Every structure is written in C-alpha cells, then in structure tokens.
Chains A and B, each alone.
Chain A
Amino acid sequence: MSAWRRWWILAACAGCAACAGGAGSVPSGTEVASPTAGSRAATPVAVSRVDAPLGIDDARTLLTRTGFGATPAEIADYARLTRGAAVERLLAATTTRASTAPPPPIGSPESLERPRRGASDDDRKAFRRAQARDTMALRAWWLHEMLVTPSPLTERMTLFWHGHFATGVQKVRLATLMYRQNATLRANAVGNFGALLHAVARDPAMMIWLDTAQNRRGHPNENFAREAMELFTLGEGHYDERDVQEAARAFTGWSVDRDALAFTTRPRLHDDGVKTVLGRTGRLDGNDVLDTILAESRTATFITGELWREFVSPVPDEREVARIAAHFRESGYDIKAVLRDLFTSDAMFAETSRGALVKSPVDVVVGSLHTLGIVPDDMRPYALACAAMGQNLFAPPNVRGWPGGDAWINSGTLLARKQFLARLARADNFGIPAPPVGGMPMRAARETPFDVAHWLDPLPADAGRDARERSLRVLLPIAPVDAAAIAGDTSNVVRTALQDPAYELQ
C-alpha cells in the first residue's frame, strides 16, 4: 500500500505541471475547480441547470445510469434536488462492503480445497460440480446485492470494474477467489484508482487469470504486464513492446501462496536487474511499474473515457474528457472526483444523450426488478437470464471484458431480452404463472410483488396526465417506438412498454 501512497503524494504536485503542458487548449483550473460552476453558455438544449431542481426526466437519467433502474418514489425524491445535491447524495451513500453476506461455503477455508495431483476422476468431477454450483450461487448473491443495496452506485461501479479488470472463473476455477476479487473491487470501487490498480495487481484471481504467478526470473510471462498497460490503464499505442517486456521482468517474484491462495512474494524468483519502463530506469519492481503507469497522464484520460462510455454517451467528447481527466489526476485519482464531474456534466443530461446507451443485461434484469419493486427469493434464474443475454457474471468472454454498447444487441440476445421481459411481466406479480428460465421457475415465494395499484402514487401531479404517460415517464428514456401498442391500465402499459425497443436504452 505504501507504494501507491508514495505516488499519490508525487501526483499532487506533478499533476499541475503535466496538465498545464499536456492538456493543450483545455483551460484547466477554470471550470474544474468547482463542480457546481456549471452554466456553460454553449449548451444548445434546454437541460436543467445545476442550481435548479432536476425534474422527473433528469432524475430518471441520473438514477438509471448510476444504479439499476429507478422506482417512481426514487425519481420523485431526486426530482426535487439540484443536480449538484443529487450527485453529492449518491456519492455520500457509497460503501466499501456488501450489505449481505455471501452464500456459504463461499469465503470459507474449505471452499479453497481442490483436487491434489493424482486425484481420482470422481474427485475432480465432484470438485468441478461444486465450483459450478458455488459460482452460480455467487452470481445470484451479487444480483441480489445489486437489488437490495443502499448504494446502487457502489454495485454499478463494482460491475464496471469487473468488466474493466475482466477476470473469468473458467481459468481461476475457484468461486471463493472470484468472490474475494469482487470484494476488492467493491472496497475500492469509488475510492482511489491508484489503490484499486495496486490491489487488483495483487489479487489472486487476477494473478491466476493473467499468469502473474507463472512469471519468474529468466522465464518472464508478459500476460499481466501487457494487459495492465493495454486494457487497464494506458490503452493500445501508448507503450511499446519493450515496455511490456521490461515490466514483465519487474513483476517477477509476485506469486500466490499455494495453501492460503493469498498474494505472496518469492524474492528468489524476482529479477532485480535494471529495467526501463515508460522512460523510467532503475531496479524496478511491480509496485514501481504500477506507479510509473499511474504517473502517465494518459492513464487518467483512458479511465475517464471508459467511464464516459459507461455513463454519458457512446462517443466521448474529447475536450470534456481532457478537462475531467486533468481534474481526476489533480485529485490524485479520486474516483469520486471523476464521477462527480461526469454526473454533473451537461453532456450527461443533454437531449441528444437520452437513450444513447444500451442497457447491459444486468441492467435489464436487475433494473427491471428494481423499477417494479420486485425482490425475488431465488436469483439463480435471473443469473441464467443474464447469461442468455450475453453477460454471464464472473465469466467475461475474454480479457477485454464485455464489449458493451451496440454489441449487447444481436438477434439472439435481443430475443432473450424480450423473452425475459415478457416473462417478468407475466410472473406471479402480474397474476399469471411464469414459465421457467433455463429449467428453473421464475417464481418467488417470498418475493415482494409488483404493487401496481400504488406504484405511480409518489410521482408529483405534473409527471403526466394519466397512468400511461406517467408510467412511460418512469420506464422510457425517449418516446416509445410503437406508441400505439402501449395502452390500457397501468399493468398493461408496463407490460407493453417493457417490450418497446426504447426500454432497451437509457
């Protein structure tokens, strides 16, 4: 931990010089100083000003993008707040720990037991079966946590980092290691990016996934060093092959303890020779490399751009990204600082960015449940539904994570989304028995049902003329594609609105 703190102190002064020279025409220090300095005259569309109440539509935008769905009650609540106050409230509510405990045996020492060399086929089969069961339980637990957490933003950011530092149980094999990584991501999700990067680099699941544990003096494995630069911090084209090779040497000696499956160092396997990484020369170790990467201004730009695509729009505004990234760096990589800038930006609330983002499968599943106030008893069918839509938690397709955006939608995944939403709207809550998902009934004994009679009550009087208009105001970011199909009582309106293509967007 001391390593990143050391860098943090350096950054506070190095940042100013670097951004004055590096950020070009962006006038740093004018608008970045205060997130509430808003009122940029260039904004062409009518959006709520930072000092005016958000109103229904901006409250829905803010809540659905920073969490999973939003209930009429939450929207009404936030509609009264100014943009700045609303964002401060979201940031103040963030946490570092899950509000619920993981399902046993996950987290227990015995859950780390695995077949020894020469174990029988039956033992291996039993191990695989147990891990598949535990991984499914872990997925269900996380989806449930997303649904009941007092801070959806914390879970949303934990999910973002899961995609950013994509690690798959297919190679890690132990559900408990995936859980521990999840806890590490959550602990730093809205903390300090430098601390997060250092923690992920020492995370056993990551070290297995990207072969850090195989990286030793004389036999460097470049996997982690490469991805750390390409996918986690700098992006392609901002380092060269030699940086990767030298960085890999610096990471030698980092290892995973065979029994405790915890981070450890093996000094005898460490290459303590002189290396040069990104222009810095010395007897560098892994911490030095991470600090060198964090000292690059490009890292803040890269992360800010990724967060922009997650929360604001598919095509980042480069000037705005440069401005926010400079602020991010000046803050010493305070993730709250970059989120505050993004969430209060005019771009976030611009008319053109409404419905510009495709919901992730997790968003479709958890967001729909949350919006309708449904808390199922057993989340496993919902985890299977996410997988059918292309987002199998703890099993991203590869080291790049889920590509997201338009790539969420193909004929197969779109039909899976529509089928899920049709089933959800036919579930017990709507008075009709639901068919099973993946062989599991999508039913919930202790489930909080969709309280259709009172669902819209919290909305203010000016939220819409009738139940249809008020429902659509809650559910859709833009006008429905097939307005004529959406009619009838609230229950019918909700059922048909969930099938509208506009519902797939936020």
Chain B
Amino acid sequence: MSEPGREAMNDCDNVRRPRHSRRTFLRAASALAVARTGAARVAFAVAPASDAGARYDRLLVLVELKGGNDGFNTLVPYADPGYYRVRPKLAVPRDRVIVLDDRVGLHPSLAPLVPLGEARELAVLQGVGYPDPNLSHFRSIEIWDTASGSRQFLANGWLTRTFAASPTPATFAADGVVIGSNDMGPLAGGGVRALAMADAARFIGRANLAHREPARGNAALRHLLETEDDIVEAAARLARPRAFATTFPATPFGRAVRTASEVVAADQSVAAVRITLQGFDTHRGQAGVQPRLLGELAEGLAALRGALTEAGRWQDTLVITYAEFGRRPAENISAGTDHGTASVHFALGGRVAGGLYGETPSLASIGGNDNVAHVLDFRAVYATALRGWWNVDARSVLGGDFAAVPFLRT
C-alpha cells in the first residue's frame, strides 16, 4: 500500500505508518479550512505517540444514552425522603431497589448488571456533569462530544483530537466505529478514520459498492479513496463473523452490541466503539419508557461482557456511558421529567474497580425547578480513559487538567 516517497512528504510527523502520515499531511493542507475552530492545531502541537506510548490494544466503548437518561431513577436515592417528596408518581419503591449501600440502589430493570457488580467490574459515577450547564439537547451533547467548556465551541470530537495527537497503529482497521447513529459524535471532524455502520450484516451487504484504489489526486479524492479502502478492509475482516455462545437480546441495543462484538472479535482492531441507545427524553409517561430502556441497556451490556469474555477481550475493555444531561429531580405534571444537569453514569470492564464514585446529592431542600450541581466533571471521566486507559496526553486533548477518577484497577 505504501508509495515511495510518501514519508518524505511530511516532515512535521515522524510516524512510521503511511496511512497516518498521509492523513496528517492532508490535515496540514486543509489547516486553513478548519482554522476557524482552532482544533486542527492540536495535531501539530503534540508529538505522536512513541512505541512505549499509547496502548490502543485496550478498547474503549462509549454508550450514549440519547435524550438524557434520568439519573435519579437509575441510581435511586431510596433513603432520601426528598426523593419520594419530589417524585410522587415516578419514585421507585424502596423494596424494589437493588440496594448498593445504605443510601442508594439500582433501578430493578438494571438487574442484568448485578453479576458485574458482584465481580466488582461496575463503577457507578454519581453527579457527572459540567459547570454552567446547558439544557439544550443539541448544545449539551456537543459540549460532551467535543469535551468543550460550556461556552467554548469546538468542531472536532474529543476522540478525533485524541487520535490526531496520538495515532492508532497502521494495522488497525479504523480508529473507531460508530454504531446505530448517523452523527459521529466524539469521532466527528476531519482526519479521523471512523467507520459508521448500522449493523455488520448490512454494512457487508453494501460494502461491495466500494472498491480499493491507491489514494491519489487532490485532498478530497484522497479522502474518498481512503474511505473506500477503509470500507473494503473492514468488510473483509468482518466477512466471517465469529459465532458467539452468548445470546444477544433482540433489541436495537442488543443488535448494536452484537455488531460491536463482531467488530472487536473479527481481528478488526479498533481503539474505540460508540454505540447509541435512543429514547431517553422522557418528558411524559416516563414509567412506561425508562424501565424498558434501562433493561435494554443492562441486558445489552451483560451480553457485551459475555461476548468479549469469549473473545478474550473483556480484560482489555472499558465501557463508559454518557448523555447530554440528566433529568430534573422533581417530576413534572405529565409523570415525566424535564431536562436536568448532572447525572449518573457507569464505567464497566475487566479492569474496572467497582463501586460508587462521586457523591449522592441530597434532595431534602430541592424545589420544583431545581437542579443538582455536578460533582464529577465529565472531562475527568474522559481524562481517566485517556491517561489511565490509553496512556495518552489528556491535557492536550481536554485543554486543561482534570484529575482522573480512580475507577481503574491498573
């Protein structure tokens, strides 16, 4: 695949891998086009990772709970009378909660996660959010996806910036795979090798429309040909998906987990997978929706653990959930909840140090429109993945120092 002289084209980057050299060169050529955001500069400010650097044999799986999951009915503060006061219709009765400690417990629909909890592989992160929260879906998910400040506007996703600064090995099929969503989220922006697919079978079915041709021509044509190449490569590796003993739930999330597992197991080296589970914007009739979604999530995550354990990858997998925001503590008149701020998220995986992190907010004096303050910045969670999981420079990606949350064992 390598063409003579390609390395020489690019003296701002001493990476051995031709693909990334080429990509970095293209970024340089289009720097002006993206200079409006300033994000492209990151690619030049940070030296590429050395062999002793990034550990992309470790997989990061991001699960987006799209619409904004209700944290208070995910990790239920069952000992707080304030919770039952502000949630007359929606509160989970104390005797149905899966008790974690003397204050909080999981929603009963999350029962499939109990084995992970018992294995100490499930970290529950409380109060994850950011200062000066924005309550718009579009803006707030943009803040999370780009890891920006509340009033800072960045165009590239935080994983896009990560892989620009510390590229994945050339042998990888892609930097990341996006499953079940049209928008690339944390993998948005130029320069990243991201595959988007609804499910593996459909992807392979269409992939014969792509053809492999040596990259050439102007920047746009090169990008097209590289994308075709990525498709052909990925489809070839996925052509005979591994058969799992694990049963995948027959839900959209279950199918997405199956695709993720097939991608990871099929010698399909990728550093990151992003899966989206839709439908958490529960303004009305939440009791009919959220328990089903939580069950879908928990069953899917349990299946992911089963499949990746079979594939020998669970020890090298870190799963983190995220969403644009949580919901307001007090329910509304439609037996739903409105846009809130900080929320509960999960980190799970073979090397996760299970337990509760952050603080449980008191709802004693909470009013109808009140929201809770965040205690863990979401960028601290990202910093944990960047520094603790991949050993890459979190500061340059996140634009500041965020102390890692100690939810990793190694």
Identify the A interface with B (CB < 8 A): 118, 121, 124, 168, 170-171, 226, 230, 235-236, 309, 314-316, 352, 355-358, 387-388, 390, 397-400, 403, 405-407, 409-415, 418-419, 422, 478, 481-482, 499, 501-502, 504-505
| Structural contact, B223 and A415, CB atoms closer than 8 A | no
Give bound CA distance, A403 to B160, whole Å. 15
Q: Is the CB–CB distance between B209 and A355 below 8 Å?
A: no
Contact A406 B284 (CB under 8 A): no
The answer to whether B224 touches A409, judged by C-beta atoms less than 8 angstroms apart, is yes
**Distance in Å from the Cβ of A408 to the closest Cβ of chain B?**
9
Q: Interface stretch among B190-198, B246-254, B310-318, B349-357? A: B190-198
Q: Mark B347-389, 1 if CB is under 8 A from A, else 0.
A: 0000000000000000000000000000000000000000000
CA distance A406 to B138 in the complex (A): 22
Known contacts A356-B219, A410-B184, A415-B231: does B138 contact A171 (CB below 8 Å)? yes
- The contact of A419 among B36, B209, B225, by CB within 8 Å, is B209
Cβ contact of A170, chosen from B138, B209, B221, B285, cutoff 8 A: B138
B133 within 8 A of A: no
Top 9 nearest A-B pairs by Cβ distance? A412-B196, A418-B209, A501-B224, A411-B195, A415-B206, A406-B223, A411-B231, A315-B32, A398-B138
B194-205 CB mask vs A (1 if < 8 Å, else 0) is: 111110000100
Report whether A406 and B30 are in contact in the complex, using a CB–CB cutoff of 8 Å.
yes
Interface string of B227-258 (1 = CB under 8 A from A): 11011001000000000000000000000000
Within 8 Å by CB of B32, from A168, A316, A418, A504, lies A316
Complex Cα distance, B229 from A500, in Å, reads 14
Roughly how many angstroms separate A411 CA and B173 CA in the complex, as a whole number?
A: 12
CB of B218 within 8 A of CB of A355, answer yes
Shortest distance from the beta carbon of A192 to any chain B beta carbon, whole Å: 24
Considering the complex, give the chain B residue whose CB is closest to the CB of A417: B209
User: Which residues between 163 and 218 of chain B lie within 8 Å of chain A, taking CB atoms?
Assistant: 174, 178, 182-184, 188-190, 194-198, 203, 206-207, 209-211, 213, 217-218
Q: Across the interface, do A406 and B221 meet the contact criterion of CB distance under 8 Å? A: no
Measured in the bound complex, the distance between the Cα atoms of B231 and A117 in whole Å is: 50
- 10 new A-B contacts, CB < 8 A, other than A226-B151, A387-B182, A411-B227, are A121-B334, A314-B30, A357-B220, A398-B138, A398-B139, A407-B190, A410-B196, A414-B231, A418-B209, A478-B221
Could you tell me which residues of chain B, from 124 to 172, have a CB within 8 Å of some CB in chain A?
A: 136-139, 142, 151, 153, 155
In the bound assembly, the distance between CA atoms of A320 and B51 in angstroms comes to 44
Q: Is B29 positioned at the interface, with any CB of A under 8 Å from its CB? A: yes
Name B224's closest neighbour in chain A (CB-CB): A501
| Nearest-neighbor residue (CB-CB) of B174 within chain A | A411
Measured in the bound complex, the distance between the Cα atoms of B30 and A397 in whole Å is 22
B29 with A397: CB separation less than 8 A: no
Whether A407 pairs with B189 at a CB distance below 8 angstroms is yes
Tell me whether A415 and B33 are in contact (CB under 8 A): no
A121 and B220 contacting across the interface, CB-CB below 8 Å = no
**Contacts of A235 on B, CB cut-off 8 Å?**
36
| Contact, CB under 8 Å: B195 / A505 | no
Q: Is the CB of B197 within 8 A of A355?
A: no
B178 touches A412 (CB 8 A): yes
Specify which chain A residues have a CB less than 8 angstroms from the CB of B115 in the assembled complex.
Answer: none
Q: Which residue of B lies closest to A119 (CB)?
A: B334
**Min CB distance, A368 to chain B, in Å?**
15
The answer to whether B223 touches A481, judged by C-beta atoms less than 8 angstroms apart, is no
B230 vs chain A, min Cβ distance (A)? 6
Distance A501 CA – B220 CA, assembled complex (angstroms):
10
A124, B29: Cβ atoms closer than 8 Å: no
B223 touches A409 (CB 8 A): yes
- Of the residues A226, A309, A314, A403, contact of B155 by C-beta under 8 Å: A403
Whether A406 and B183, one on each chain, are in contact in the complex, defined by CB atoms closer than 8 angstroms, is: no
Instruction: For A390, give the chain B residue with the smallest CB separation.
Output: B182
Minimal beta-carbon separation of A116 from chain B (angstroms): 13
What residues on A are CB-neighbors of B30 within 8 Å? 314-315, 405-406
- Decide: A504 and B224 in contact? CB cutoff 8 A: yes
Q: Say whether B38 faces chain A, with CB atoms less than 8 Å apart.
A: yes
B61 CB, nearest partner CB in chain A, Å? 18
Determine the residue in chain B with the shortest Cβ distance to A358.
Answer: B220
CB distance from B310 to the nearest CB of A (A): 26
Q: Report the separation of the CA atoms of residues A418 and B228 in the bound assembly, to the nearest whole angstrom.
A: 11
Closest to A503 in B: B224
Partner of B224, one of A118, A170, A414: A414
CA distance in complex: A409, B230 (Å):
12
| Contact A309-B33, Cβ < 8 Å, known A410-B194, A411-B195, A501-B221 | yes
Chain A contacts for B14, CB-based, 8 A: none
Q: Which residue of B lies closest to A485 (CB)?
A: B211
Q: Return 15 A-B CB contacts under 8 Å, by A number.
A: A170-B138, A236-B38, A314-B30, A314-B220, A355-B217, A355-B220, A356-B219, A356-B220, A400-B155, A411-B195, A412-B195, A413-B196, A414-B227, A415-B203, A419-B209
* Neighbour of A415 across the interface among B29, B210, B284, CB < 8 A: B210
Select B285's contact among A121, A171, A314, beta carbons within 8 Å.
A121
* Nearest-neighbor residue (CB-CB) of A404 within chain B: B33
For A387, list chain B residues within 8 Å (CB).
182
Query: Given that A356-B218, A406-B220, A505-B221 are known contacts, is A314 also in contact with B231, CB under 8 Å in the complex?
Result: no
What B residues does A171 contact at CB under 8 A? 136, 138
B265 to chain A, nearest CB (A): 19
**Distance to closest chain A CB from B180 (angstroms):** 11
Q: Please, which residues of chain B bring their CB within 8 A of the CB of A121?
A: 284-285, 334
Does B138 contact A399, Cβ atoms closer than 8 Å? Answer: yes
Q: A406-B30, A409-B223 are in contact. Are A236 and B36 (CB under 8 A)?
A: yes
Chain A residues within an 8 Å CB radius of B230: 411
B154 to chain A, nearest CB (A): 10
Q: Which residues on the A side are within 8 Å of B33 (C-beta)?
A: 309, 314-315, 405
User: B residues within 8 A CB of A168?
Assistant: 138
Tell me whether A236 and B37 are in contact in the complex, defined as CB-CB below 8 angstroms, given that A412-B182, A501-B228 are known contacts: yes
Contact, CB under 8 Å: B217 / A478: yes
What's the minimum C-beta distance from A316 to chain B, rounded to whole angstroms? Answer: 7
Select from chain B the residue with minimum beta-carbon distance to A413: B196
Q: Chain B contacts of A411 at CB under 8 A?
A: 174, 194-197, 203, 227, 230-231, 234
Interface pair B220/A405, CB less than 8 Å apart = yes
User: Is A315 a contact partner of B29 (Cβ separation < 8 A)?
Assistant: yes
Distance in angstroms from A407 CB to nearest chain B CB is: 6
How far apart are the CA atoms of A230 and B209 in the complex, in Å? 40
Contact A410 B136 (CB under 8 A): no
Give Cα A480–Cα B225 distance, bound, in whole angstroms.
Answer: 12
Per the bound structure, the CA–CA distance linking A171 and B174 in Å amounts to: 34
